[in-house]
Structure 1
Amino acid sequence: MTDNLATATDVNLAHNYHPLPVTISSGEGAWVTDVEGKRYLDLLSAYSALNFGHGHPEILAAAHAQLDRLTLTSRAFNNDVLGPFATALAALCGKDMVLPMNTGAEAVESGIKLARAWGYRVKGVPADAAQIIVANGNFHGRTTTIVSFSDDDTARNGFGPFTPGFVNVPYGDAGAIEAAITPNTVAVLIEPIQGEAGVIIPPAGYLTAVREATARNNVLFIADEIQSGLARVGTTFACDRENVVPDLYLLGKALGGGVMPVSAVVANSDILGVIQPGEHGSTFGGNPLAAAVGHRVVQMLATGEFQERAAQLGAHLEQILQPLVGHGVTEIRVAGLWAGIDIDPALGTGRQIAEKLMARGVLVKDTHGQTIRMAPPIVVRATELDWAVEQLRLVLAV
C-alpha cells in the first residue's frame, strides 16, 4: 500500500529526486510515521534541517503565535520581528549584520554576490575579474551559478554554459588554497565539513591555515555552515572546532527549525555594508513568520544545551559504530551527531543498505554510491541510536 501511495503522489512530480519508497504522514521528535502507521527512526533530519526534531514544541509555539498576527510584509516595509531576530543571530555569530534569505542556495548566491561587490568596491579588483576559490567535492546547492563550480557530474552535466570566476582546489589542502590566490581573488568558499560528499572531515589545522592564508592575502573566508552549523557537530559552528571565525557565515536548514525555509548571510558591516538598497533582495527573505521561528531557534542555541547534547551523543554514536569497521563497513567519519559510513561494496550499495534499513524502521540516506549518512535529530536518545546501529549490524551481517 505504501508503494502505491508513493507512486500516486509522485506521478505529477518532476523526477529530480529518487526518494526511498516510504510516504511519511506525521512526525514527532526523532520519529516519523508513514501512511500505513509504521514508525521509523529518522536519522537524516532532512539533511540537518531538523536538528531540533519534528514538531519541537517551543518552535511550533513561536510559529503559531506569529501565524495569528502577521506572516508576510515583504521588505518594502519593516516588521516588528525581523530586527530582534537579526540582533540575536548576529550575537550568536559574533558579527554585527545579517542578510536574511530563505534557502541555503540563496544564502550561497548572496555570499557570492557580496564577495564580488566587496572585491570591487573595497579591495579594488578590476571590474568583472573577481575570482573565488572553492574546493573539489563541494556541495553548495544546485543553481546554475553553484553547479558551475561543482565536480558532481549528476548536478552539472547538461546545464551549461557555466558561470566563470571560480577556481577549484583539492579539499583539505590549505597550501593549494594559498597557491591559488591571486590579486583578483576575493574569497575562499568552503564547507568546514563536506556533508553531501559523505561527511568528509578535513585534516586538523586545515581551517586555521585557511583563516591565516585569507587574512594574510586580504581575501574573505566564507564558511558554508548550512549543514554543519547550528549545533550539528557538537559546537555552534563547525569552524568552532578549531576556534576559527570566518568573515562570512552562510546559514540555513536548521535555522528554520524544521518549520520554515530560513537562511542568512552573517558578517560584519564593513563587508555586508557594501550591499545597497535595490542591489539584492527576496520577497520572502526575512518575513515575519520566518523571523519568529528563526529567533526562537537562535534563543534555543544560545543556551548551549543542543551543542552539548550533540557532542555527547556523537561520541556515543562513534563508539557504537566503530566495531562495524571491518564487518561490512570500510570506514566511518563522525563529527558530533553526524556520521558518514562507507559500506563494503561486497555487501551492496549505499542505496541498497538504506532500503534494508528502511524495512527495519530506520531512515538514512545514501550518497556517492557506497556511503550512508546519519544525522539524527539532536533530541534523539542514546538508546535509540543503539537500536538503530544494531539494525545496521544485522543488515550487514545478512
Structure 2
Amino acid sequence: MKEVVKKKRGIQDYPRVLINFSPQIPPLKKIIDKTKINIRYALIPPFAFVHIYWDSKISELVYEVEEPYLNETEKKYKEEIVSAMENMINLGEVVEKDKEVIAKYIDRMFKILLIELGIELSYETYKKIYYYLYRDFTGFNEIEPLLKDYFVEDIECNGLNTPIYIVHRIYRNIKTNILFKDANKLANFVEKIAQRAGKYISYGNPILDGSLPDGSRVNATYTKDITSRGPTFTIRKFTKTPWTPTQLINFKTLSPEMMSYLWLLIEHKMNILITGGTSSGKTTLLNAIAFFIPPEARVVSIEDTRELNLPRENWLPSVARTSTVTGGVGEIDLFTLLKSSFRQNPDYVIVGEVRGKEASVLFQGMASGHSSLSTMHADSVDTLIKRLETRPIELSPTLMNVLDSVCIMTHATIKKQETRKLKEIVEIMNITSEGI
C-alpha cells in the first residue's frame, strides 16, 4: 500500500512540462548552391526541430521534422491515455481557452489518468507523451510544427502515401518527412481542419474553403471521387502583421516611385484592381497599400475566405457564408454582401477577389462614387478585360471605364531566385468594344 501511495505522489509531483510555441526566428541566409544547405532550427522547443538538408540519394532538398522518439511501450501508453482522455476532455474548452489554462488542464488530466490506469512513467517519458497530447488536442497533430515555422508559406498534402510538401520563404518547394498512410486517419484530420475552420465537410459536400483560427487559408477535399489519392489539404499561411509599404520596397517587390504613385491613387480615392497569377502577391500588395487609407476613413471589406488584415479600427470586415444544408438555404455570397456594403456608408470598399457576378455590383459601386480596391486572376490588362467582358461576369466596356488603374503582379526569376514583383501599373484611359 505504501508503495502505491509513493508511486502516486511521484507522478503528481512531476513539474509541469514547459513548451515554447514562440521561439526566436533564426537568421537564415539564401544559399545558391542547394547541395550546401544543411541547417537546423527550433519549431516548438524543446521538442520539435527541423533539419533542412540536401539528400544526395534523391537529389533534392528535404525538410525533416524531428520530434521525440517513442518506443513501442511508450506508444502503447500514449494510445491508452489518448483514448481515455478523448472520453473525458472537453475539446471545445481546450481549443478556445488561454494556452496557460489549457496546459494546466491537460497536465492535471494526464496525471489523473496515469494513476487511474496504474501506468508508471519516468519523467522523461512523461514529458514526451505530454508534448504529443498537447500538440494533438490543441493543435493540428503532425503538421503543427509546420504551422509554427515562420518560414513556411504553404503546406500541401496531395493524398495518401505521398509526402507533404511545403513552400519555404527562403528555399521554396521542399519535400517533408511527413506523410499519411492511413485513409481514416487522413479523413479524420481533414474533418478536424473543417471543425477548426467552422465549416462542414462530408461525402455530400466534399470540398472545403475556409480560414483557420490563426488566419491561415485552407482548402481541402474529402473523397476519392474528386481526388483519386484520397483526402487532401492545402494551407496558405499569412503573417500575423501584414507587410508594410516600406518592407515591400526593401524586398524590391516594387520601386519607391511605384509605391508613391499608388499612395496618390489611394489618397485621391481612385479605383484599383490588382491582378496576377496564383500566389503572386496580390493580397500582400492590397494589404500594404491599405496603409495609405486615412485612419478616420470607413473601410468595408468583403471576402469569401478571410485573408485581409488591415491595421485599423474603422474597418468592417465581412466574410461570405456557405450553406450547411442542401438547397443553399442560409448561404450569404459575395454578391449579397457587396450589395449590402454600399448601404454601410463606406469611404473605401475592398473586395478580396472578384471572380463572378459580384463584379457587376463592384463596378456599379465604383460608378456611384465608392472608391474600390480588389484583386483578380489575370496576367495582363488584355486578359483582364477579356475576363470582365465574358461569362460569368459580362461587363459592358462603358462600365469598365470607371476603373482607374490596374497593378499586375507576377513571379520573376532573378539571379536564379524566385521572387514576386509588381510588373507594371497601367492607367486606364478608355475601354471600347475593341478593347483598350
Both structures adopt the same fold (TM-score exceeding 0.5)? no
With the length of structure 2 as denominator, give the TM-score of the two structures: 0.28
With the length of structure 1 as denominator, give the TM-score of the two structures: 0.30
Which of the two has higher C-alpha Rg? 2
Question: Would you tell me which structure has more strand in proportion to its own residues?
Answer: 2
Higher relative contact order (CA 8 A, sep 6+): 1
